Amino acid sequence: MSGPPPWATLTATIATIGPRWDEFAAISCPTLLVSGEHGVLPADETALIGRHPAVRPVRIPGAGHDVHLASPGPWQAAVSAFLRCQAPPR
């Protein structure tokens, strides 16, 4: 294998993207933000995102970045509760 390892390429690519706050501000549909207590999203960014009127933030205690893998039960409960709130009345 030549060149940098795949993870190095991914890390370098992500570092160039940066936040897209203008696009984020334009979101109008209900949005669920599930983050882990020990995830990679900084607490100040999570708080900022959570103040957006369309965003419902949920932080899973004890979980890391891959919440759905580390804490599948709490992740599934958060997603299910969010989707139940979005369902049109019957």
CA distance 82 to 78: 6
- Please report, for the chain, the start and end positions of each structural domain, with discontinuous segments joined by +: 19-86
- The answer to whether residues 15 and 41 touch, using CB atoms and an 8 Å cutoff, is no
pLDDT category, 1, cuts 50, 70, 90?
low
Write down the pTM of the prediction. 0.70
Among the four given CATH numbers 2.30.42.10, 3.40.50.2000, 3.40.50.720, 3.40.50.11320, the one describing domain 19-86? 3.40.50.11320
Q: What is the mean pLDDT of residues 67-72?
A: 94
